[in-house]
Structure 1
Amino acid sequence: MDIGADGSMPTEWSDMQVMEDSTTTTKKPLPSSGKGGGIKRKSKTSAIDQDIRECICLMADSVNKVDNAIKSSTTSPQQIKNMYTELMFELTNIHGFLEEEVDTIYDNLSKNPTLIPSFLSKPADSKARWMRKAL
């Protein structure tokens, strides 16, 4: 915008005020100017501003989806404790293994917790075979 040396604005801009709403920006003459009715002009940037708003909304939706996915895949401390308690219960209830062997298998499974749910879902005879192989 050009401003004169004396700090004044060009006539076409000084007689205008900016009116904004949520979708467009228009310029309209000030009511006290004494000039005829003004013509509303859409700002050239209003379409660009709307595109930017839409992109920001899409990005916010994507971030929310990622956040929800992370939250749903996270295991709570209580769930982890319950899983290890169930593991120890299952290991000690499979006959034919010494306490030291059960401790070794428990320690090995604890080092790779992604295997625990698979182990727990096996039938008892499959658990016993797996334990013999793991020793």
Structure 2
Amino acid sequence: MFGEEWLKAGGRSQVSTEFTCQHPRYLSLIDKYGAPEEGELKKPQPFALKNQLLKIMFVFPDDADRKPIEKKLPASMVVQKVKGLLYRLLKIPAADLKLTYTSPKMAGTEFEIDSDLKTLQFYSIEEGDQVLVRWS
């Protein structure tokens, strides 16, 4: 609870006497359980939709004239809804769209998005991935 305050007071190297006066048992707890790690001290972001959005780039490899489109989408979005969004943007029927994606982590590998009823999260689509949009 007082980990951040402990770090500001000097942390592992030299804890201020003011901190030890305010929290006299804190040093004995550190001796018993160990010092708090930085990961434990980070406060979680509030569970808001804007914190759950993935920045995805839609690329059109078969249409060189069309510029890539960047969108922020929730990971829980169903592929069918993504195709609906692309229909509104491209005016191409959703049934004709074929989606695949590439990830910078696995360069050169293209993963097929074959089920309209699965979510983006199911396909492990992450922030910064590119969705390749083709149509027949």
| Structure 1 length-normalised TM | 0.28
Structure with the higher fraction of residues in helix conformation? 1
Structure with the higher fraction of residues in strand conformation? 2
Q: Relative CO higher for 1 or 2, CA cutoff 8 Å, sep ≥ 6?
A: 2
| Structure 2 length-normalised TM | 0.28
Greater CA radius of gyration, 1 or 2? 1
